[in-house]
């Protein structure tokens, strides 16, 4: 199995497991899309961690051996499958934390960008090497997070950057030692998962909606989600718990 799902304490852990470097086939793209399109639709988990198996890579990108047999006529259909995968992670109803355990290259780096929060091991690297293999890709996703100059340098040279440089540019949010990666991600996931399950889902949707909207329209749209939340029991419980200085008890309604 190339993709594993574990659930524990309101947290889902999704692991790419395709040795040696977790490269992506079209079938694996489809598996990822299927999983993230369903993840969080039920109230059984409230936060997800996306990581890679082993210590060689988070994801080394597209499986070039499979790609060699593809024809130009097949490319639009293949591209649609890839877009669906990235969209499924980005639009997953619950927050997704990328725990990046090694190099994230090409499509692997894009998978990191479509997560909500990115924590990287100090040995991780990020790159858009598509130019080296006759492709373009990933700039739209990376450009949400890093300046144009840095983006174009990565895009034109195909050279990867290290975790500390990625942190400086804003591509990732935290750098930790490899042995601390999953513990750090799990602690953050637990903190997030303890929030109102409906609140998290409304917040995720609001953040996705407003990302490309003009400022004032975006804030008005965000306020609309606050109004929707007022109709839920959990939102009232959150307010009461804050006033009464106690931990809230959420019921998911």
Q: What is the pLDDT of residues 56-92, one digit of tens each?
A: 999 998 887 776 677 777 777 888 999 999 999 999 9
pLDDT at 247: 83
As a whole number, mean pLDDT of residues 209-218 equals 93
Domain shared by 106 and 138, yes or no: yes
pLDDT at 38: 94
pLDDT in tens, 38-48: 998 988 999 99
The last residue of a domain, from among 193, 212, 232:
193
pLDDT in tens, 162-195: 999 999 999 999 999 999 999 999 999 999 999 9
pLDDT in tens, 137-146: 789 999 999 9
Sign of CA dihedral 125, 58, 6, 179: negative
Domain shared by 79 and 109, yes or no: yes
| Angle at CA of residue 13, ends 30 and 119, nearest 5° | 100
Confidence of residue 238 (pLDDT cuts 50, 70, 90): confident
Domain shared by 154 and 204, yes or no: no
Domain shared by 45 and 81, yes or no: yes
The whole domain housing 235 covers: 197-243
Cα–Cα dist 2/31, whole Å: 9
Paired tokens of 30: 């489809």
Domain shared by 119 and 229, yes or no: no
Q: Could you tell me if residue 250 is inside a domain?
A: no
Q: Which residues contact 117 (CB under 8 A, 6 or more apart)?
A: 95, 96, 97, 98, 173, 188
Cα–Cα dist 84/201, whole Å: 20
Domain shared by 141 and 215, yes or no: no
Q: What percentage of the chain exceeds 90 in pLDDT?
A: 72
End-to-end CA distance of the chain: 35
Domain shared by 126 and 176, yes or no: yes
pLDDT at 33: 97
Domain shared by 230 and 184, yes or no: no
As a whole number, mean pLDDT of residues 222-235 equals 88
Check if the beta carbon of residue 112 is closer than 8 Å to that of residue 98.
yes
What CATH number has the domain bearing residue 29?
3.90.226.10
pLDDT at 99: 98
Q: With 90 as the cut, is the pLDDT of residue 242 above it?
A: no
pLDDT at 136: 78
Domain shared by 7 and 58, yes or no: yes
- For the chain, what is the mean pLDDT? 92
| pTM greater than 0.85 | yes
pLDDT at 137: 77
Total count of domains within the chain: 2
pLDDT at 252: 80
pLDDT at 141: 95
pLDDT at 139: 92
């Amino acid at each position: 199995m190339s993709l594993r799902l574990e659930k524990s304490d309101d947290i889902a852990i999704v692991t790419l497991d395709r040795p040696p470097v977790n490269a992506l086939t079209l079938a694996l793209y489809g598996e990822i899309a299927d999983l993230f399109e369903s993840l969080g639709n039920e109230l059984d988990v409230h936060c997800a961690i996306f990581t890679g198996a082993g210590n060689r890579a988070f994801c080394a990108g597209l499986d070039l051996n499979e790609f060699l047999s593809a024809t130009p006529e097949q490319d639009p259909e293949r591209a649609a499958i890839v877009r669906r995968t990235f969209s499924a992670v980005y639009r997953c109803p619950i927050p997704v934390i990328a725990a990046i355990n090694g190099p994230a290259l090409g499509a692997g780096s894009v998978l990191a960008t479509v997560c909500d929060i990115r924590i990287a091991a100090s040995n991780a690297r990020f790159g858009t090497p598509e130019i080296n293999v006759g492709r373009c890709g990933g700039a739209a996703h990376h450009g949400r997070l890093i300046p144009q100059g840095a983006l174009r340098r990565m895009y034109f040279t195909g050279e990867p950057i290290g975790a500390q440089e990625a942190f400086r540019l804003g591509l990732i949010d935290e750098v930790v030692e490899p042995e601390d990666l999953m513990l750090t991600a799990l602690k953050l996931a637990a903190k997030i998962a303890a929030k109102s399950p409906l609140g998290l889902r409304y917040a995720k949707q609001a953040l996705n909606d407003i990302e490309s909207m003009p400022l004032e329209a975006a804030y008005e749209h965000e306020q609309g989600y606050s109004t929707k939340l007022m109709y839920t029991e959990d939102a009232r419980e959150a307010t009461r718990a804050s006033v009464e200085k106690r931990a809230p008890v959420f019921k998911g309604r």
